[in-house]
């Protein structure tokens, strides 16, 4: 397939252009720097992804073991539906995030366009206090998650930590409740003793969800 004359961009067999990759890499680096500035990606912790193609599923995910506050636009890896590196489509030579498999699973199950994983302390403290899920209600900030500010209880699910991404993905899928006509999904899962995964239609929405949830969890902890 040849590139469209107007874009100057190269097409891969999956229709991923070099322009798409450049934009994804720049966005991942910018979001990671923002999260690092908030203290949610200390050391090399945390990882981010954006969905590049849906069928077959391909994600651009941050490289493993890098300082997430200092990523460049090249520090991403393209992975498949199982979180395994995909050769020949572009991206860096880094190892993909150790948690790429969970990113792929969340993108697959929820249809998310972006997934953010941060080690925000409030997520770990909340999962410690409420290992079976954190109940939230009657808070204006819930509207930012697509829920009601009154008369609805929103349960933030908690799963146990694992180094096995299939096991972690299974645990996530077991607690994930898809949206219905009446009630929206809850776009976050807390991983006990670890951190949070939040997602959205794109990186901006995934970030907004992470920020709102962190605020809600802090409120819940401080008022318990």
Which spans of this chain sit near ligand MRU (rule: CB under 6 A)? 43-47, 62, 64-65, 97-99, 117
Q: At what angle do helices 18-37 and 203-222 cross, to 10 degrees?
A: 20
Residue 132, marked binder = no
Q: End-to-end CA distance of the chain, in Å?
A: 59
* Nearer of residues 194 and 209 to ligand MRU, judged by Cβ: 194
Give the rounded distance of the alpha carbon of 147 from its chain centre. Answer: 19
Q: At its nearest, how many Å lie between ligand MRU and the CB of residue 9?
A: 28
* Nearer of residues 8 and 65 to ligand MRU, judged by Cβ: 65
Instruction: Reduce the DSSP state of residue 14 to 3 states and report it.
Output: coil
- Written as one string, the DSSP assignment of 103-141 is HHHHHHHH--SEEEEE--HHHHHHHHH-TT-EEEES-GG
Q: At its nearest, how many Å lie between ligand MRU and the CB of residue 157?
A: 18
* Nearer of residues 20 and 97 to ligand MRU, judged by Cβ: 97
- How far apart, in whole angstroms, are the C-alpha atoms of residue 134 and residue 217? 8
Q: At its nearest, how many Å lie between ligand MRU and the CB of residue 42?
A: 7
Q: At its nearest, how many Å lie between ligand MRU and the CB of residue 193?
A: 10
Residue 28: φ, ψ to 5°: -60, -45
Q: At its nearest, how many Å lie between ligand MRU and the CB of residue 45?
A: 4
Residue 204, marked binder = no
- How far apart, in whole angstroms, are the C-alpha atoms of residue 12 and residue 93? 18
* Nearer of residues 46 and 91 to ligand MRU, judged by Cβ: 46
- Helix (H) or strand (E) holding 153, with range, is strand 153-156
* Nearer of residues 52 and 66 to ligand MRU, judged by Cβ: 66
Binding site: what residues are annotated?
A: 117, 119
Binding site for Zn(2+): what residues are annotated?
A: 117, 119
């Amino acid at each position: 397939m040849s590139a469209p004359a107007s874009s100057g961009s190269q097409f891969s067999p999956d229709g991923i252009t070099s322009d798409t990759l450049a934009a994804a890499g720049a966005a991942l680096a910018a979001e990671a720097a923002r999260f690092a500035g908030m203290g949610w990606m200390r050391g090399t912790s945390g990882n981010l992804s954006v969905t590049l193609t849906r069928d077959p599923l391909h994600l651009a995910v941050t490289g493993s073991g890098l300082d997430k506050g200092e990523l460049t636009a090249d520090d991403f890896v393209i992975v498949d539906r199982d979180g395994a590196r995909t050769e020949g489509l572009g991206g860096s030579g880094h190892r993909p995030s150790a948690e790429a498999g969970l990113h792929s699973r969340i993108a697959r199950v929820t249809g998310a366009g972006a997934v953010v994983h941060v080690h925000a302390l409030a997520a770990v403290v909340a999962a410690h206090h409420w290992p079976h899920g954190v109940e939230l209600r009657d808070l204006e900030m819930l509207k930012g998650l697509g829920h009601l500010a009154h008369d609805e209880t929103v349960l933030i699910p908690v799963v146990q930590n694992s180094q096995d991404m299939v096991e972690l993905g299974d645990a996530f899928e077991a607690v994930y409740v898809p949206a219905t006509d009446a009630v929206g999904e809850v776009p976050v899962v807390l991983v006990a003793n670890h951190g949070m995964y939040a997602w959205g239609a794109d990186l901006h929405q995934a970030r907004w969800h992470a920020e709102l949830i962190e605020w809600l969890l802090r409120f819940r902890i401080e008022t318990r």
